[in-house]
Structure 1
Amino acid sequence: MSSVRLLVVTAVAAEAEALAASGYDGYDILAAGVGPAAAAAGTATALARAPHDLPYGLVISAGIGGGFQPLAPVGSVVVADAIIAADLGAQTADGFVPVDELGFGRSAHLPPGKLSRAVAEATGAAYAPVLTVSTVTGTAERAAELAARHPRAAAEAMEGFGVAEAAAAHGIPVLEIRAISNPVGPRDRAAWQIGRALAALTQAFRDLAPVIDTWETER
């Protein structure tokens, strides 16, 4: 068990159960709800309630998500090198303008590089940006738009940026880990492989445990 106190935030109970099935007991798990607002509120509340003498040292946003093809096939894992709010900004006649370019706040968080790279290597994951969206992509046109704006992106989900905002407010580093249940593109719920993605998530958390333990001793 790691000596650092970890908070892992998922959207729903099934994801939390997949993490618990890894058998690693070095973290607390919170199913905060779907979407960036619920994720931010739940994470911030949990961090604020942590005892002063036992604070969290790392927050991880984890769960399943959509994968940009061919970078992240179904059943694979993605570790974020950047957590990006992909639809926070303004739609203009010239295209989408992210919130930071409008002069308000930020649209990306960067996980600690050494730790996130090590987690990606240990889990066999793609190491690339993960996009946070408030509306899941359901058309080829929307997938193409996102890929054009974020050509290195490997996955999209709905909670990472909210978790990262809360962690940043408390000065705590953050990671995002996603197991891929479906391609980003036309919505075909019947083809989603949620069980396969949850199994991949379980295995990823088994594989990352030694990395977290080593990172804590090096801090």
Structure 2
Amino acid sequence: MTGLLVVTAVPAEAEAVRAGLTDPTVTVAPVGVGPAVAGAATARLLVLAEAAGRPYRAVVSAGIAGGFVDRVAVGGTVLATRSVAADLGAESPEGFLPLEELGMPADLLGVGSVVPADPGLLDALRTALPAATVGAVLTVNTVTGTAASTAALAARHPDAVAEAMEGYGVAVAAAQAGVPFAELRTVSNPIGPRDRGSWRMREAFAALTAAAAALR
């Protein structure tokens, strides 16, 4: 059995994670942007490792994210209690309907639009990162960019602290493989109307490097 698999969306996130690692058994792989490519690539990595007789012990989706104002600060670190496919469902006159309200599971394992983080892995990360904000992390295909959509998401997910684009896909791949999963993010910008002047990429990457020491 090999160590931990950490998947990021882009190479810059992978480099930030590698810069902070203290455990040489951790594998870091950039797998692409969005839940579909992240899920497919993660599944491939897990299958190849298992076929080689060196299965991974756990998977962490890591990278930068947008944070909900008043729930987490820009530059802060977030640990997901659950990864949520926030836009997987249907519109209705009454509002958005997630899969669970449509009576459709997302896959043959019965995983719906929410995948909880593995309790043991989450507890270990919380112990190693006591200052991290803990809550749901939303996975979206389209990054939120208006005040109205931000308010709707915040109201629909009162425990959500951040949004990104890969966690749910990685979580489903891990669930299919029977491997523990967690999601770790650092916040580069507030969720809401797009204002590049408010983005703090350097701070978010530095926070990701600091948090990577907990990945062991």
**Normalising by structure 1, what TM-score?**
0.91
Preserved CA contact (<8 Å) 1:4 1:58: no
Q: How is 1:177-192 mapped onto 2 (pairs within 5 angstroms)?
A: 177-192=184-199
Query: What is the match of residue 26 of structure 2?
Result: 27
| TM-aligned CA deviation for residue 51 of structure 1 | 4.0
Residues 126-168 of structure 1 deviation map (CA, whole Å, 9 limit, x = unaligned): 1110000000000111110000000110000000000001111
Identity, % of aligned positions:
50
Counterpart AA for 2:44: T
Preserved CA contact (<8 Å) 2:61 2:183: yes
Q: How is 1:1-219 mapped onto 2 (pairs within 5 angstroms)?
A: 5-24=3-22, 25-52=24-51, 53-105=53-105, 106-123=112-129, 124-206=131-213, 208-209=214-215, 212=216
Determine helix, strand or coil for the equivalent of 2:134: strand
Preserved CA contact (<8 Å) 1:67 1:180: yes
CA distance in 2, matches of 1:155, 1:116: 16
Residues 170-198 of structure 1 deviation map (CA, whole Å, 9 limit, x = unaligned): 01110000000000111112321111101
Q: Which moved more, 1:92-101 or 1:46-55?
A: 46-55
- What are the ranges of 5 or more consecutive residues in structure 2 without an aligned counterpart? 106-111
Q: State the superposition RMSD in angstroms.
A: 1.3
Preserved CA contact (<8 Å) 1:182 1:191: yes
CA distance in 2, matches of 1:57, 1:91: 38
- What are the ranges of 5 or more consecutive residues in structure 1 without an aligned counterpart? 213-219
CA distance in 1, matches of 2:7, 2:36: 13
Counterpart AA for 1:13: P
Moved over 3 A (4+): none
Preserved CA contact (<8 Å) 1:117 1:127: no
Preserved CA contact (<8 Å) 1:68 1:153: yes
Cα separation, partners in 2 of 1:48 and 1:4, compared to 1, 3 Å: closer
Q: Which moved more, 1:163-172 or 1:190-199?
A: 190-199
Residues 69-121 of structure 1 deviation map (CA, whole Å, 9 limit, x = unaligned): 11111000000001111000001111000012211110001112233133124
CA distance in 2, matches of 1:121, 1:73: 20
CA distance in 1, matches of 2:154, 2:44: 33
Counterpart AA for 1:108: V
**Normalising by structure 2, what TM-score?**
0.92
CA distance in 2, matches of 1:165, 1:99: 15
Preserved CA contact (<8 Å) 1:5 1:57: yes
Counting matched residue pairs gives 207
Preserved CA contact (<8 Å) 2:4 2:26: yes
